[in-house]
Chains A and B, each alone.
Chain A
Amino acid sequence: MSDKARNIVNIVVAALIIFGLSLFSLIDEDKDWSYSERRGLAKFPEVSLSGIFAPPGKTSVMNEFETYFQDQFPMRESFRQINAVGSTYLLGKKENNNLCLTDDYITKLEYNINEDSVEWSLNRINYITDNYLADSSVYFAIIPDKNYYLSGKAGYITYDYDEFIDKFRDSTRDKMTFVDLRDQLGIKNYYYTDTHWKQETLLGVTDLLLYTMTGKGFAENTDNTILCETLLTDSFEGVYYSQLALPVKKDSIMYMTGHYVDDLKAYCYDTGAPEKIDVYDKVKGSGEDPYQMFLTGSRALITIENPNATEDRELIVFRDSFGSSIAPLLAGGYSKVTLVDIRYISPAMIGRFVDFEGRDVLFLYSSQILNNSVGQFNN
């Protein structure tokens, strides 16, 4: 190719990319929602003089335009994938958007114990214990993050989970019984692309928790007929899947069912009056965030009634989203399970809705939430 021909091709290539994408962005319709980031995308800004001359600290119209152009750029997801591939394979980075890929598992890089968060988590747990749980049997279990099981093997860093768990165990030793889940769980208990654990692998954990709290394992409490059904096969894109933006293995989503599960009755109290909800919401299971199929996702207060319970015994679980999938299994050991999520209801208000006297109480939290509770756990 002659120099002149090269010059022409250079200009044509650059013009095609710059003018082509520019034109494409003009004709491409604006989108409302980014599935990969689970957030709304910026809309065309309203132009005003006060917006143009915004005072320091306020977002100007120009800043809004910058965000808008970036959010509404054509083929945005494809370009995010190019970024991920470039970061990983061109620049050799081991993490992308703070996410690591190890043996097909996506993990969020988190290598510092957040002391403020630990303190705030303990503060909330102690507040609830001191104010409500004088006449209850109280238990505490921490669900380790996937990093705990992967980091050593992969050479990635993570914080010292043993130190982290000890901080909670030591600070709550006098008030509750600590149930250690570390040896009961392994990496196979977690989804590849999502932060959560897989319900179909939790019988061991359920057994351990029920045995500690009731003296009977899962099988002794139920009629022992539990089955595993598949809702999605190799098509579940967990919350990390699109964030990582690399082509990786997808998950299947399964759920445990059987005679006693079919008879469970679940109610949500977020609107005040009890509203009957599905234990497994298959519509949500086929939606954008399939893990929300378990007890319909994020809720402040839920009860599950088990008419087949062998004993009239109640459990109250303070929990995060991990609790949604294990709760139907824990219900096998109780006549009623109440789930409380203090991210959506203030601990100061709980006493109005929940009677704690004589109940078993379990604090069941993922390490990820406990290490990032500031701004999440309510006052």
Chain B
Amino acid sequence: MLFSSITFLYYFLPIVIILYLLSPSKLKNTVILISSLVFYGWGEPKFLPLIISTILIGYGLGLLMETTKSKAAKNILVAFLVVISLGILGYYKYTDFFISTVNGVLGKDIPLLHMALPIGISFYTFQMMSYVIDVYRGDVKAQKNIINLAAYIVMFPQLIAGPIVRYKDIELSLTSRNHSLNKISCGIRRFSIGLGKKVLIANTLGLLVEAYKVTEAPSVIYVWLYAIAASLQIYFDFSGYSDMAIGLGSLFGFNFPENFDYPYVSESVTEFWRRWHMTLGQWFRDYLYIPLGGNRVTKIRWIFNIFVVWMATGLWHGASWNFVIWGLYFVVLLMLEKLVLLEQLKKTKVIGHLYLISLVIISFVIFDGEDIHDSLSNITMMFGFGNVPVWTMESVFMLINYGTVLLIAIIGAAGLPALGIKKLCENKSTSKYINILEPIFIGLLLIICTGFLVNGSFNPFLYFRF
């Protein structure tokens, strides 16, 4: 079930809110757990046993970890956790990639398994792992109440596309949380904005991306339009989803971590990755990069650590060579920056910004390609080497047709509307008008988004495949 669907907005959500409001405090997590299982089972009923197994593994390992005194035994439990978690993830996500790679390299013809990827497996597996590892490290106590732990792992607002919420971030809220008018109102505002980002902007840009993919008349202008649209679509899709998740969390009394901080205003790739999918970056930093030694090691080892983290980041996003190359691309850029470029980029902000935008757009062409050949073909065309005309009638029409939404998306991604509203709110004379306009804006946004959803426009979430 998608947040941006009629089913979720007008059937699932109202029922869950009513049940949640009617239930006493001690049953609220049960309501969240059951509704989350329904939410998950709605799309993937056959994978319910898998997600329940994940809960049981996390619960059992957490308790065992806390009661085990021996360091060696704890290490074995962590090793078991890593093997079983990554084993399940690897089995569902990477088996066919592995087989096709073996087939390609060795010239074999081993049949692919064509397994369906359980929705959100990368997210909930990482959440479960972080919980057990935090118990191992003594950062949190094991959760004795399985309902509370299960509610954390499968909580529907962040179950299938993040943000990756760490147990220690909401440990207290699981047992005691407050619901205030302000929190609910902020949640509604955040959810509505996220819905608008997804439905109005990401989905509309998605139409341009899809149109390019089936065009019979590619051109240099068209491929650039595609590349810019794809980069903005991924941002608005994913950050819109994160906004909706954070907003829903707020409605139910939780504070989820931020996942995006206007990444396109960055002036270096290093800064970009501090602002993009922040919870994934933090996860890899705390559970992979630092355990590997971080940057407090020899230079060679440090380069190796960055390589491992970015290979993992690439593969986390998907089982294809595109994502491997995408990860490698960032390894090279981050190394270049850390060793040479970063100081220079700080001196020249405009160049830094242009440099970042160009490289990120190319990265998303790699990311979005059907395969590596497709991505390379598009990148070649972008720089005029693809034996295609500079422009065609179709590309000009697409520019006219999607020009306004591209402009809105660029302004939005630059954070200008948020900056403007913040300034107006800080000014006493204008803040009262903002307070009047806000409910009107929310109402209109919900109504317009409903119109778009009823019309059944293009609507898949890109991050579901992770």
- Taking beta carbons and an 8 Å cutoff, which residues of A are in contact with B? 1-14, 17-19, 21-22, 25, 52-53, 56, 62, 65-66, 69-70, 73, 76, 79-84, 86-87, 90-95, 97, 111-112, 155-157, 245
Contacts and interface: CB of A to CB of B under 8 A. Distances in A.
Chain A CB within 10 Å, residue with most, of B184, B204, B435, B451: B451
B194 to A, nearest CB: 13
B10 A7 contact: no
Contacts of B397: 94, 111, 155-157
Interface in B1-60: 1, 5-7, 9-11, 13-14, 42-43, 45-46
A83 B452 contact: yes
Nearest to A114: B216
A17 B6 contact: no
Chain B CB within 10 Å, residue with most, of A6, A80, A245: A6
B151 interface: no
B51 to A, nearest CB: 16
Given A6-B439, A94-B397, A112-B216, 6 more contacts: A18-B446, A25-B10, A80-B454, A83-B454, A111-B394, A157-B393
Interface in B381-421: 393-394, 396-397, 400-405, 408
Nearest to B400: A94
Given A11-B184, A157-B393, A92 B403 contact: yes
B182 A53 contact: no
Interface in B437-458: 438-440, 442-443, 446-448, 450-457
B185 interface: yes
A18 B447 CA distance: 9
Contacts of B453: 70
Contacts of A17: 443, 446-447, 450
Given A19-B14, A25-B10, A86-B200, A10 B439 contact: yes
Given A1-B436, A18-B14, A93 B204 contact: yes
B340 interface: no
Interface of B: 1, 5-7, 9-11, 13-14, 42-43, 45-46, 116, 181-182, 184-185, 188-189, 192, 200, 204, 216-217, 393-394, 396-397, 400-405, 408, 432, 435-436, 438-440, 442-443, 446-448, 450-457
Contacts of B46: 53
Given A13-B442, A79-B454, A82-B451, A69 B404 contact: no
A91 B457 contact: no
B446 A14 contact: yes
Contacts of B394: 111, 157
A11 B185 contact: yes
B451 A18 contact: no
A56 B450 CA distance: 29
Nearest to B449: A86
A92 B407 CA distance: 10
Contacts of B181: 4, 7-8, 11
B438 A95 contact: no
Contacts of B185: 6-8, 10-11
Contacts of B6: 66, 69-70, 73
B446 to A, nearest CB: 5
Contacts of B405: 91-93
Given A17-B443, A22-B14, A62-B42, A3 B116 contact: no
A11 B188 contact: yes
Contacts of B400: 94, 155
B454 A73 contact: yes
Given A79-B455, A80-B451, A83-B451, A93 B404 contact: yes
Contacts of A111: 393-394, 397
Contacts of B10: 18, 21-22, 25, 69, 73
Chain B CB within 10 Å, residue with most, of A81, A82, A84: A82
A4 B180 CA distance: 11
A6 B461 CA distance: 32
A81 B454 CA distance: 10
19 contacts: A6-B435, A8-B185, A11-B188, A13-B443, A14-B192, A14-B443, A19-B14, A53-B46, A62-B43, A62-B45, A73-B450, A80-B455, A83-B457, A86-B452, A91-B404, A93-B204, A111-B393, A111-B394, A157-B393
A1 B116 contact: no
A22 B11 contact: yes
A13 B445 CA distance: 11
A82 B451 CA distance: 5
A62 B11 CA distance: 13
Contact of A18 (B9, B45, B435, B439): B9
B401 A95 contact: yes
B408 A91 contact: yes
B438 A10 contact: yes
A371 to B, nearest CB: 13
Contacts of A12: 439
Contacts of B11: 22, 25, 69
A76 B446 contact: no
A112 B397 CA distance: 13
Nearest to B436: A1
Contacts of B1: 62
B401 A10 contact: no
A21 B450 contact: yes
B401 A94 contact: yes
B202 to A, nearest CB: 12
Nearest to A70: B6
A200 to B, nearest CB: 33
B136 to A, nearest CB: 37
Smallest CB-CB A-B distances: 9 pairs:
A92-B404, A82-B451, A7-B185, A83-B451, A83-B455, A6-B435, A79-B454, A1-B435, A9-B439
Nearest to A96: B455
Nearest to B401: A94
A14 B442 contact: yes
Nearest to B201: A91
B57 to A, nearest CB: 24
A333 to B, nearest CB: 40
A50 B113 CA distance: 23
Contacts of A86: 200, 448, 451-452
Contacts of A87: 204, 452
B5 to A, nearest CB: 7
A182 B9 CA distance: 51
